[in-house]
């Protein structure tokens, strides 16, 4: 393959385990590579993961500033929100329409929207007495967790689960699902 791998920008706010799954999966891929990591928080653990992998990082001064985010994204061809807790400005969504995705720790359209992240999601799933949960990768649009669903991986809700045990099982599904979707999309973009 003589073409360059698709340049992936990853937007983060937290510890970066999904970023790590991408870094590991794409490390020697001819299809896609993590080209930059952009954080809404200066102390996000994901930044350390990116630096250890020698991936350039940017910390946004104002995550709501569309121009700042556009500049940080640079020549990215695919944008992945991996634990990014900010709403992406509409002009940035428009620039990357069909090339910006998010991973969510539940089976959308349920258990999504503003404020639905982290343990809040898993607590809501348990409170609903749902029999299954899982991970969803969807396209990003102008609202939280409303873009078209690309792929999902289901996991059972076990008797005796609490938010922590369910979160661990869902996170394993996220780590399998996200790299697979990124590679599939990168093949289409290339």
- pLDDT tens per residue, range 92-122: 999 999 999 999 999 999 999 999 999 999 9
What percent of the chain has a predicted confidence (pLDDT) above 70?
A: 99
Q: Which of 185, 3, 177, 171 is nearest to 96 (CA)?
A: 185
Options 104, 122, 138, 175, the catalytic residue: 104
Instruction: Identify the CATH class of 6-114+134-154+175-189.
Output: alpha beta
**Around Cβ 131, how many Cβ atoms within 10 Å?**
9
Mean pLDDT across the chain = 97
Active site residue 175: no
Sheet containing strand 6-12, strands side by side: 57-59, 32-39, 6-12, 78-81, 100-104, 132-139, 149-156
Question: Which pTM was predicted?
Answer: 0.96
Q: Of 131, 180, 189, which is closest to residue 151 (Cα–Cα)? A: 180
pLDDT over 80 at 1, yes or no: no
């Amino acid at each position: 393959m003589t073409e360059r791998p698709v340049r992936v920008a990853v937007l983060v706010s937290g510890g970066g385990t999904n970023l790590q799954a991408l870094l590991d999966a794409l490390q020697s891929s001819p299809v896609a590579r993590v080209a930059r990591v952009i954080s809404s928080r200066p102390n996000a653990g994901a930044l350390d993961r990116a630096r250890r992998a020698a991936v350039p990082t940017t910390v946004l001064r104002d995550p709501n500033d569309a121009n700042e985010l556009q500049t940080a994204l640079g020549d990215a061809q695919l944008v992945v929100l991996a634990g990014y807790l900010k709403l992406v400005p509409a002009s940035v969504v428009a620039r990357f329409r069909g090339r910006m995705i998010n991973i969510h720790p539940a089976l959308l359209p349920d258990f999504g929207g503003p404020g639905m992240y982290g343990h809040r999601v898993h607590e809501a799933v348990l409170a609903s007495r749902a029999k299954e949960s899982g991970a969803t990768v969807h396209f990003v649009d102008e609202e939280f967790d409303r873009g078209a669903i690309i792929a999902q991986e289901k996991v059972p809700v076990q008797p005796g689960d609490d938010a922590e045990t369910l979160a661990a099982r869902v996170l394993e599904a996220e780590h399998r699902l996200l790299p697979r979707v990124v590679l599939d999309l990168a093949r289409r973009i290339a």
